[in-house]
Structure formats: structure tokens, C-alpha cells
């Protein structure tokens, strides 16, 4: 990691739900909480707790020097709504097979 830049990942135990236009896209009691310097807490949800059948793979990819290359998925009316790291860097290997949304409800 760059000096002063940290990423921590911990197993969450709060209920996390993602709803978009009235449709539940994800719901889990086992999110990973990723805290990264300069960023809000992100909830990474196990892929099996996400309605991946509703998501369309996007052509968008971004590169994070700390996590690796992200792939994105969209809904017909919401491009690049979801992202994940199919082959994350070793330091954040826990987020493999997890997806992240911009907006989540935490109970």
C-alpha cells in the first residue's frame, strides 16, 4: 500500500439490503466491510446473495492500484450500478466473489 493509504476488511454481521426502484437486488447478513483511506465504507456482498440474474455485464473496467481491476454490471436503466473484483490483489483477496453497490440499506 502507498504510504498513508490503508484498506481494512472485516466480516460484518448487520443486515444489508439493496433495493433499486422497488426491486430487491441483494440481501445478506454476511457482508464484508471494506474501509479505505479517503472513501466511504463499502459493503461487499457475497455473489450468491445478489440477484445476478437481473444484472447485465458492462464493458466498463477500472483499475485500482490497491485492489486490482474491477468489472461492472448494469441494469437497463442504471449503468455500472454494481462492481466487483474477479481477481483481486492478494492483500484484499477476501472480496473475491463479492459484489458492491453504490447505495445500500443497513439495518
Q: pTM for this structure?
A: 0.93
CB 7 within 8 A of CB 36: yes
d(CA 107, CA 103): 13
C-alpha cell read off for 60? 466498463
Asked if 42 contacts 31 with a C-beta cutoff of 8 angstroms, the reply is no
Domain 7-106 has CATH 2.170.150.40: yes
Asked if residue 2 has pLDDT above 70, the reply is: no
**What cell was used for 3?**
504510504
pLDDT band at residue 107 under the 50/70/90 scheme: confident
What CA–CA distance (Å, rounded) separates 67 from 32? 14
Amino acid at each position: 500500500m502507498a504510504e498513508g493509504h490503508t484498506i481494512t476488511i472485516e466480516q460484518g454481521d448487520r443486515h444489508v439490503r439493496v433495493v433499486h426502484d422497488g426491486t430487491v437486488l441483494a440481501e445478506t447478513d454476511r457482508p464484508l466491510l471494506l474501509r479505505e483511506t479517503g472513501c466511504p465504507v463499502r459493503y461487499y456482498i457475497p455473489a450468491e446473495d445478489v440477484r445476478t440474474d437481473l444484472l447485465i455485464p458492462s464493458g466498463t473496467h477500472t483499475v485500482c492500484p490497491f485492489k486490482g481491476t474491477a468489472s461492472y454490471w448494469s441494469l437497463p436503466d442504471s449503468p455500472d450500478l454494481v462492481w466487483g473484483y474477479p481477481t483481486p490483489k492478494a492483500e484484499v483477496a477476501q472480496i473475491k466473489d463479492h459484489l458492491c453497490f453504490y447505495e445500500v440499506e443497513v439495518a
